[in-house]
Amino acid sequence: MTSTQVERHEGESDGGKALGATPEEGYKRGLGSRQVQMIAIGGAIGTGLFYGSSKSIAAIGPSLIACYAVAGVVIFFIMRALGELLTYRPTSGSFADYAREFFGPFAGFATGWSYWALWVTACMSEVTAAGAYINYWWPAIPVWSTAAVALVVLFVANLVSVKLFGELEFWFSTIKVVAIIAMIVIGIGILTFGFSSAGDTASVSHLWADGGFAPNGAWQAMLAMQGVIFAYLGVELVGITAGEAENPKQTLRKAINTLPVRIGIFYVGALIVLLSVFSWTHYKPGVSPFVQVFAQVGIPGAAGIMNFVVLTAALSSCNSGIYSTGRMLRGLAVNGEAPKTMEKLSGRQLPLPALVLSTLVMGIGVIVNIVSPDKAFVYITSVATCAGLWTWIVILGAHLRYRSRVRAGLLPAADFRMPGAPVTNWIGILALGFVVVLMATDADTRLGLYVWAVWFVVLGIGYQAAKRRAVLAVQA
């Protein structure tokens, strides 16, 4: 960090110019358009749809469709705001760099470390889940060992090249997409031609006939929004690829513009079919709705097929987590907000020390999760939940600041503009604020807000320590 940066550490960067070196410097642009497109698709599809949706269906019925549609609109606003920022200045530091540029160094510090924590804790959970899914076929093998092997394999893949990471994500995402499309095609076939035992009762009237569209009331449906919007966590990951994507402005623009189609098909479309084939009362919490549909039409090994699909979803999430934490940690180091050794790149142009440290922390968390899956781990993962909301609000807020500086003639205008801004920015911010309010009304999720407050105190202490270290380095 330079002396100029130290002097400006308490305020915004002059004229909106980013502080520090550009974190993508030295990276190899090894992610092709095909891979970035599937990373974007995979980021929007997680285990929450394949398994978690059964619990939500049982709680609020067909109104879950509206929840996913409304949340999808908010996510599209967020991603278009991010897309305009990435068009203005592609950077692998992504949200942290924009927070630093438009809100000052502490915002960049807090956003970078929070996003790092988000993916570290998510990987702890996902790789443990992957171990459990593998045990479906080999129950005698301890979960910790399969989880550890999965983590090591993905870590090694991330060390080989960014292209291998992208290729893994391509195939992981392809498996998830094929599973969803297969269910939709089968469901439409049941509704149209009436085959299988479900054909006699399958009807779109299930969407409103069994207690109404919101059988448990509108308020219950709104309470479910917090879980729904969290199902989209990871969709912003495509922004991290900016420093290593071939022709990032064109590739990322296409990935973001197709987001409404992906949400419309993979979430809204899938739920419409699921809830038309069977009444919402048919689905049992804890059992994948996909398994129930596949089993009903007589597909052999339906449970095993879906176990394989959710295994790939968990591995995909962990693979993405290793990738993103390495880039985010290096970006923090470039700006003097993490140990300088984390700034180094390997001969393959990969952030080796940052990848190693992030994966080691994930490994420790896996052991904690398996040995003591109690409240302590819930506290840790609640940081990830709030970090996702913080990241999205920062993206929308940074975009507002960017647009204001464009109007003032301080920054160049991007040709990929967010539609409806600044109104759509405020719609997104208010919607995310409403989710925070909903979290505060529930005892379990309220805990996450308390932990987040403690986390911010820790960040404040860490920021002051980093600033003192930078001052001493300059004086030396």
- pLDDT tens across 33-53, in order? 777 777 777 766 777 788 778
Task: Identify the CA nearest to 29 among candidates 327, 337, 178, 248.
Answer: 248
pLDDT, mean of residues 191-219: 89
pLDDT band at 464; cut points 50, 70, 90: very high
The per-residue pLDDT for 4 is 33
Residue 381 has pLDDT above 50, yes or no: yes
Residue bearing the bigger pLDDT, 43 or 438: 438
Taking phi over 0 as left and psi of -120 to 50 as alpha, with beta for the rest, 350 belongs to: beta
Query: Of 106-115, 205-214, 306-315, which range is least confident?
Result: 306-315
**Taking a C-beta distance cutoff of 8 angstroms, is the pair 318, 130 a contact?**
yes
Render pLDDT for 154-190 as a digit per residue (tens, 0 to 9).
999 999 888 888 888 889 889 988 999 999 999 999 9
**Taking a C-beta distance cutoff of 8 angstroms, is the pair 45, 180 a contact?**
yes
pLDDT, mean of residues 285-307: 85
Residue-wise burial string across 172-184, b where 16 or more C-beta atoms lie within 10 A, e elsewhere:
bbebbbebbebbb
pTM for the predicted model, two decimal places: 0.87
- Note the Cα 375 to chain centre separation in Å: 23
The per-residue pLDDT for 373 is 60
Torsion, Cα 322 328 332 333, to 10 degrees, reads 50
pLDDT band at 476; cut points 50, 70, 90: low
The per-residue pLDDT for 73 is 94
Residue 21 has pLDDT above 50, yes or no: no
Residue-wise burial string across 283-307, b where 16 or more C-beta atoms lie within 10 A, e elsewhere:
beeeebbbbbbbbbbeeeebeebbb
